[in-house]
Structure 1
Amino acid sequence: MTDTPTRPPAHPGAAPHPGPADVLLARLGRLRACVALLVEGQSADDPTAGDPMRGLYLPDETVRFLLRRPRLNGPDPGPGPEDGPQDGPQDGPDAERDTEATQDARPEREPEAGPEPGPDAPGQPPRAPAASGDRLDALAGRLGLTELDTAFLLIALAPDIDRTFEPLYGYLNDDVSRRRASIGLALDLCGLPAEHPTARARFHPSAPLTALGLLTVEDPERPLLSRALRVPDRVVGHLLGDDTPDPSLAGHLPAAPLPAPDDGTGFIDRLAGRLAPGRITYLREQREGDGPAYVAAAVHAAGTRALYYTGPAEGVPDVLREARLAGHALAVPGLPDPPHAMLRALTTQTDVAVLVTDRRPYDAEWCRDDPLVLELPRPRSATHHAWSAAIGAPDAGPGFDLAATVAPYHLGGEQITRAARAAREMAGFDGGPLTAGHLRRAAQQQSASGLERHARRIRPDVSWTDLVLPEKPLTQLHELALRARHRDLVLGDWRLSAGGGRGRGVLGLFAGDSGTGKTLSAEVVAAELGLDLYVIQLSSVVDKYVGETEKNLERIFTEADRTDAVLLFDEADSVFGKRSAVTSSNDRYANMESSYLLQRLESFSGIALLTTNLRANVDEAFTRRLDLVIDFPFPDRPQRLALWQHSLTHVPHTDGIELTPLSEAFELAGGAIRSAVVTAAYLAAGRGDKVTAADLLEGARREYRKAGRLVPGEGSW
């Protein structure tokens, strides 16, 4: 056997501090003395003690010896200084058959209070003195194991640490092929009678050793006394000082997330006070991913640690055993679907504090023993503290404002950690300091959602300089972005929410003629906030079957609530139209859709923008629920000139093009002007030349013809 390393001395000449393996080996040394005495007593009159084939067959003399031999439970010198209360001979039918030898072998103490192995108690598993590295005593103290449980556990794990116990156990089992301790052998080594009901009950499936996963009783088809005892490898490793988790849990134990900031309500401290063995708490999240951060904060406040388990229900026994060995709480961030099996497995244990987090409301049908169900507080606006902790102290670029950059995002603790790591890696790849762009791209990666099934995703690539608008709508657009960035502060921390279950959404309506910049403005707002823009596809929303349209819209709103994104309902009057008098069943169901949308917008917590060419077609009840209604006027001549100039910014064109006549002669909106410039660019590209005034004129004329309008001055320009 190789030597077990010990902790090096603190200074030369100091005695080494024994580690867990050293303490366990010392225990096994005392156990070996007990085994030797039992072997000596059992082989004293055995005629086949020296037979090398002993245990493989039964000759006649062995059978006669077994018939003559009294019940032997190991030599017992009588109660020692550590023994519990003594009992007299037991009454009952067996009392008359008790011989003097069996009376001497019967223990004179209750099994629960029996001593552990000790050098002064031959035939009894000796009790080791307490040591700072004694993990067996520490485990017994945490789990409430009796001294007899500890002795049984030590006897069962001995062959896993010292191979020389295997042949000894094989001899004592009268079967060289059974080289592990059996229940009968464990009772013999502890000097306990095989028929003692209390001692036998320590191996029952509901007894602590087996119920807590510390001991496995094998061979259920055999008689009880000959069933083998096995200690799981993970338990043996822990007692030896190895804290590597069970291999079956690989990939299911994520790192602890960053703690949530103090919400100022004392919720975290109250939750920390509930971290007691056997208590299970169900935390319903307001936003997916917030639960683990609150758990981390509560665990930190309680001065302990937690295991975070994301695996299936089948792994619950293993992870509970892992939590018991480490003395940690157990956190389950998100239940599987269906959650019944996992919750039932968690609520049946009584020795580990469990915290379950999930977005779904708790259902009493999930398990029989209800946990304590709590609603997590709404996240505070100051989530930049979590971002700051995740990012650390990076080399940030000039003008980098962390609080303003992360304000639009509502990521959970683990998502923040991953986004911060990705942002640092992006900055390292670019070879420069961390910028707001790196952080926004990383946050957008964590906000991927299922909205693409119902919407067209746009990664904004525009800015405020791409907008040519009058001052009033431009100011309102800036205000819209401001509302989206500070809604948690104003509606949450400052308690200006209207109540009634209303969300913290930001809703805006863009009204104006086609081509006046409504969709482009929505993209600019999304770019300002660092969010993706999702244009809702009406073909995937509207359904001819009754109730299906509402279901599709509910999926969109639910997904948008958990995703950092901007929703754009283009041509919104087709969905948010006015309710009318009911003259047919079609009117009734159309009104139901509008009524549903009115209710759903009340509880929406995301950012939604609606565009319409006809503001009068939108139900007035919707406009009351909107934060801003922005009118996009048709551009006048100065604005049209600015639009022509802006559209030609990146287009190679001949010098001296006069754009004023175009802006005066053609009353075109911004979208039409851009289309005219695109037409001119294709004409120039076909010639292999730059864009000329004639190309722009032709593009403008084509836009007039598409609209069915009379082309001004055609043939004279």
Structure 2
Amino acid sequence: MTEYASPASPPADALLVRLARLRDRVAELVANRSAADPTASDPLRGLYLSVEAVQHLLGPTAVSHTCVFDDATGFEAAAFSEDVESAPAARLERLAVRLGLTELDTRILLIALAPDLDRSFEPLYGYLNDDVSRRRATTGLALDLCGLPVHLAEARARFHPSAPLTALGLLTVEEPVLPFLSRSLRVPDRLVAHLLGDDTLDAALVGSVRPLDSPSSALLSSPSHHDFTAKLAARLAADPLTVYLRERREGDGLACAVAALRAAGVEALHFTPTAAEALRFTPAAAEEPRPDILSDLLPRLLREARLRNRAIVVSPLPEKPAPLLRALTEAGVPVVFAESRPYDPQWCDRDPLVLDAPRPHAGAVDTWSAALRVGTDGPGFDLAAAVTPYRLGVDRIERAARAALDLAAFDGTPVTVAHLRLAARQQSASGLERHARRIRPDVGWGDLVLPDKPLAQLHELALRARHRDRVLGDWRLSAGGGRGRGVLGLFAGESGTGKTLSAEVVAAELGLDLYVVQLSSIVDKYVGETEKNLERIFTEADRTDAVLLFDEADAVFGKRSEVKDSHDKHANMESAYLLQRLESFDGIAVLTTNLRANIDEAFTRRLDLVVDFPFPDSGQRLALWRHSLAAVPCADGTDPVAVARDFELAGGSIRSAVVTAAYAAAGRGAAVTTADLREGAEREYRKAGRLVPGEGNW
């Protein structure tokens, strides 16, 4: 059999060279250690420890120390005779002072910590434990090293689960099935790393905990936050306070917490329980999701906060927040919860300080200006008009500003209104798309052909949406009673008169997206489900900067009737719910209907504007024809005047007629003619079941 030598690749050659060097280093270390080791030639070396081996491990500097315990005065141990106060403050001493550990606790911790810092303590502890396999300190050994009687109750209590070392997560007493004095002591790896100067986040917390970013001081100078955050900062600086901030919009409470903690000079960790719960369903946990993952993470989170002397900010809360609040409320570290739900006293036994996060003024021009870093000259456009419709929190404003700057850099231009609006809309994206169809407005006022009165009302609707916080909030013209600051409009008119298009134009004017609610996603045959679906939509709309459009609203907002059977009763209940929900609505909503008379009068009273869309006259029809043909290639002599005069069509039908004419012309490879326009108009008449002029009477 012939053997063939396979030449190694260059990477393999390099690796083999390094292994050879490692072998040489191992041989050198073996020689150095065995030269002075009296047990080097012992065939049972490692299986037991002789007195000579122990003396060798201790070295020539080993001295005998004595320990004395005085019941009256507590501990005095010559074994720890170093003057700690005269030495530079080490992390262990600083940690002991910060957490209120006694001198005994500190010494027990040091005893348990020794094998993790110097492995020569492993065989020594094995020798003292009379078992070379038990290479960690035990409770009995720790008491012996401290010179304490093992039967002393006060000394044994230092290892109790409620004692500081174990309760704070600094020490673990293992092997509970063994006798008390034989139980091993272990110090968490994270504590060892911290004492050695490593502040890398605990690996188990990665993904759910991050250092809380602090916005620039300019962002925190917003008048709406200043007084509130100053008071909160004073309390947080005074003692480890637990605060529950209820926020009206997502991010408001978090921004207040950041501002207050920064003013108090306290750094914080941001814990996201929803991210932690998501870890239950990662591929690693796919076979058996861990239902108790939060209970596993909380001790690590608290230990991390204590080690790094940081506060904890929790936002948002999980669906069932009671266990989390109970665990963190009495943790002894500053904790701030930020949540949109009101606080429930049943969540924990000791109530935190419950506060309402200040509601930032819509627009917050000073905050936007600071985030965009535009200086005193401004961005080159009316910043106030551009940002007034958006109700973003401070952190979202900063993110939107960064996104706008990135978009401008991509285009190679200064920041424009379009960049700003696109970035702000991205921050407002929400779960509304699960219940409504999203429309990115691509129209303007020039696309509307309406009489002066409804056009002026549409401008007023946009104006109300811009300035509602100033009028209803700053000028205190809200009606009270828990009423929101929503803007509600009803667009009434025949089909095709421009109701949906007008809603899109209003949304474009405000720089917002339009969400058209799908009635199929609302109405449910089961009792109570329709109200639940509507509540989901209103809740999402409250926290989203968008215009909500209920098309064919009379199907949902219809009149209440006399109760004759159970169907009437439940229909009236739906209407009653809607009436109550509209009172507290904070968003912008438009209702459209072809039959205004079908809308309940109680809904009409709650509307800000009712815009009637008339059927277009001949002049308006001509304007609609010409607007629809603006970008369509037309043959010479093509004139829609006669078609506009002869065919009474609404705007939607006129557009459909133009589309029909355009397809006919494209099929011929020619431009649109007047005959094509007339054919399109006749098609619309036939679709509607109307008699086409010139075709005779039936």
TM-score normalised by L of structure 2: 0.83
Alpha-carbon offset, residue 321 of structure 1: 0.8
2 CA distance for matches of 1:670 and 1:433?
Answer: 38
Aligned residue among 245, 249, 267 for 2:205: 249
Runs of 4+ in 1 over 6 A off after TM superposition: 394-398
Q: What amino acid is the match of 2:313?
A: A
Q: Does residue 282 of structure 2 align to residue 320 of structure 1?
A: no
Q: Which has the higher helix share?
A: 2
2 CA distance for matches of 1:624 and 1:158?
Answer: 77
Judged with a 3 Å threshold, the aligned counterparts in structure 2 of structure 1 residues 58 and 686 are, in CA distance, closer, same or farther, namely closer
2 CA distance for matches of 1:255 and 1:327?
Answer: 12
Q: State whether residues 111 and 199 of structure 1, in contact with CA within 8 Å, keep that contact through their aligned partners in structure 2.
A: no
Residues 161-197 of structure 1 show CA distances to partners (whole Å, capped at 9, x for unaligned) of 2333333333333333333233233333333232222
2 CA distance for matches of 1:544 and 1:180?
Answer: 67
Alignment-derived partner of residue 90 in structure 1: none
Alpha-carbon offset, residue 52 of structure 1: 8.6
Q: What amino acid is the match of 1:235?
A: L
Aligned residue among 243, 249, 253 for 1:291: 253
Alignment-derived partner of residue 696 in structure 1: 677
Alignment-derived partner of residue 12 in structure 1: none
1 CA distance for matches of 2:233 and 2:260?
Answer: 5
Q: Does residue 524 of structure 2 align to residue 543 of structure 1?
A: yes
Residues 139-162 of structure 1 show CA distances to partners (whole Å, capped at 9, x for unaligned) of 111111112222222222222223
Aligned residue among 169, 179, 188 for 2:125: 169
1 CA distance for matches of 2:166 and 2:91?
Answer: 18
Q: State whether residues 112 and 146 of structure 1, in contact with CA within 8 Å, keep that contact through their aligned partners in structure 2.
A: no
Alignment-derived partner of residue 421 in structure 2: 440
Judged with a 3 Å threshold, the aligned counterparts in structure 2 of structure 1 residues 616 and 131 are, in CA distance, closer, same or farther, namely farther
Alpha-carbon offset, residue 685 of structure 1: 0.9
Describe how 1:137-216 pairs up with structure 2 within 5 A: 137-216=93-172
Describe how 1:443-454 pairs up with structure 2 within 5 A: 443-454=424-435
1 CA distance for matches of 2:177 and 2:581?
Answer: 62
Alignment-derived partner of residue 686 in structure 2: 705
2 CA distance for matches of 1:598 and 1:531?
Answer: 25
Judged with a 3 Å threshold, the aligned counterparts in structure 2 of structure 1 residues 140 and 388 are, in CA distance, closer, same or farther, namely farther
Q: State whether residues 408 and 414 of structure 2, in contact with CA within 8 Å, keep that contact through their aligned partners in structure 1.
A: yes
Alignment-derived partner of residue 636 in structure 1: 617
Name the SS for the 1:480 alignment partner.
Answer: helix
2 CA distance for matches of 1:128 and 1:612?
Answer: 81
1 CA distance for matches of 2:618 and 2:174?
Answer: 91
Judged with a 3 Å threshold, the aligned counterparts in structure 2 of structure 1 residues 224 and 398 are, in CA distance, closer, same or farther, namely closer
Q: State whether residues 252 and 359 of structure 2, in contact with CA within 8 Å, keep that contact through their aligned partners in structure 1.
A: no
Describe how 1:477-556 pairs up with structure 2 within 5 A: 477-556=458-537
Alpha-carbon offset, residue 255 of structure 1: 4.5
Alignment-derived partner of residue 311 in structure 2: 329
Residues 385-420 of structure 1 show CA distances to partners (whole Å, capped at 9, x for unaligned) of 443444334999974333332322223344334333
Judged with a 3 Å threshold, the aligned counterparts in structure 2 of structure 1 residues 513 and 701 are, in CA distance, closer, same or farther, namely same
Name the SS for the 2:70 alignment partner.
Answer: coil
Q: State whether residues 436 and 515 of structure 2, in contact with CA within 8 Å, keep that contact through their aligned partners in structure 1.
A: yes
Judged with a 3 Å threshold, the aligned counterparts in structure 2 of structure 1 residues 52 and 124 are, in CA distance, closer, same or farther, namely farther
Alpha-carbon offset, residue 518 of structure 1: 0.7
Describe how 1:55-94 pairs up with structure 2 within 5 A: none
2 CA distance for matches of 1:130 and 1:106?
Answer: 23
Q: State whether residues 419 and 439 of structure 1, in contact with CA within 8 Å, keep that contact through their aligned partners in structure 2.
A: yes
Judged with a 3 Å threshold, the aligned counterparts in structure 2 of structure 1 residues 247 and 513 are, in CA distance, closer, same or farther, namely same
Q: What amino acid is the match of 1:191?
A: G
2 CA distance for matches of 1:388 and 1:434?
Answer: 12
Judged with a 3 Å threshold, the aligned counterparts in structure 2 of structure 1 residues 539 and 396 are, in CA distance, closer, same or farther, namely farther
Judged with a 3 Å threshold, the aligned counterparts in structure 2 of structure 1 residues 245 and 265 are, in CA distance, closer, same or farther, namely closer
Alignment-derived partner of residue 575 in structure 1: 556
Point out where structure 2 has 5 or more consecutive residues left out of the alignment: 1-38, 52-62, 277-293
1 CA distance for matches of 2:226 and 2:358?
Answer: 9
Alpha-carbon offset, residue 710 of structure 1: 2.8
Identity of paired residues, percent?
68
Alignment-derived partner of residue 236 in structure 1: 192
Q: What amino acid is the match of 1:266?
A: D
Point out where structure 1 has 5 or more consecutive residues left out of the alignment: 1-47, 62-73, 78-104, 116-120
2 CA distance for matches of 1:414 and 1:147?
Answer: 44
Q: What amino acid is the match of 1:299?
A: L
Alpha-carbon offset, residue 601 of structure 1: 0.7
Alignment-derived partner of residue 558 in structure 1: 539
Q: What amino acid is the match of 2:156?
A: R
Alignment-derived partner of residue 348 in structure 2: 367
My pick for the range that moved more, 408-417 or 702-711, is 408-417
Name the SS for the 2:302 alignment partner.
Answer: helix
Q: What amino acid is the match of 2:680?
A: G
Alpha-carbon offset, residue 382 of structure 1: 4.9
Alpha-carbon offset, residue 361 of structure 1: 2.1
Residues 1-27 of structure 1 show CA distances to partners (whole Å, capped at 9, x for unaligned) of xxxxxxxxxxxxxxxxxxxxxxxxxxx
Q: Does residue 291 of structure 2 align to residue 309 of structure 1?
A: no
Alpha-carbon offset, residue 682 of structure 1: 0.7
Residues 503-549 of structure 1 show CA distances to partners (whole Å, capped at 9, x for unaligned) of 01000111122211110000111112222211112222223333332
Alignment-derived partner of residue 4 in structure 1: none
Residues 73-124 of structure 1 show CA distances to partners (whole Å, capped at 9, x for unaligned) of x9666xxxxxxxxxxxxxxxxxxxxxxxxxxx64336685546xxxxx3x34
Alignment-derived partner of residue 590 in structure 2: 609
Judged with a 3 Å threshold, the aligned counterparts in structure 2 of structure 1 residues 253 and 222 are, in CA distance, closer, same or farther, namely same
Name the SS for the 1:202 alignment partner.
Answer: helix
Q: State whether residues 512 and 546 of structure 2, in contact with CA within 8 Å, keep that contact through their aligned partners in structure 1.
A: yes
Alignment-derived partner of residue 35 in structure 1: none
2 CA distance for matches of 1:417 and 1:302?
Answer: 22
Alignment-derived partner of residue 33 in structure 2: none
2 CA distance for matches of 1:346 and 1:254?
Answer: 17
1 CA distance for matches of 2:466 and 2:126?
Answer: 74
Alpha-carbon offset, residue 265 of structure 1: 7.9
Alpha-carbon offset, residue 54 of structure 1: 8.9
Name the SS for the 1:357 alignment partner.
Answer: strand
Alpha-carbon offset, residue 678 of structure 1: 0.6
Q: State whether residues 75 and 191 of structure 1, in contact with CA within 8 Å, keep that contact through their aligned partners in structure 2.
A: no
Q: Does residue 90 of structure 2 align to residue 108 of structure 1?
A: no
2 CA distance for matches of 1:194 and 1:585?
Answer: 77
Alpha-carbon offset, residue 692 of structure 1: 0.8
Q: What amino acid is the match of 1:410?
A: R
Alpha-carbon offset, residue 674 of structure 1: 0.7
Alignment-derived partner of residue 664 in structure 1: 645
Q: State whether residues 125 and 190 of structure 1, in contact with CA within 8 Å, keep that contact through their aligned partners in structure 2.
A: no
Alignment-derived partner of residue 592 in structure 1: 573
Describe how 1:276-287 pairs up with structure 2 within 5 A: 278-287=240-249
Alignment-derived partner of residue 338 in structure 1: 320
Alignment-derived partner of residue 269 in structure 1: 230
Alignment-derived partner of residue 648 in structure 1: 629
TM-score normalised by L of structure 1: 0.80
Q: State whether residues 183 and 228 of structure 1, in contact with CA within 8 Å, keep that contact through their aligned partners in structure 2.
A: yes
Alpha-carbon offset, residue 555 of structure 1: 1.8
Residues 53-77 of structure 1 show CA distances to partners (whole Å, capped at 9, x for unaligned) of 6995699x9xxxxxxxxxxxx9666
2 CA distance for matches of 1:660 and 1:709?
Answer: 21
Q: State whether residues 363 and 389 of structure 2, in contact with CA within 8 Å, keep that contact through their aligned partners in structure 1.
A: no
Q: How many residues matched? A: 621
Q: Does residue 268 of structure 2 align to residue 300 of structure 1?
A: no
2 CA distance for matches of 1:406 and 1:125?
Answer: 66
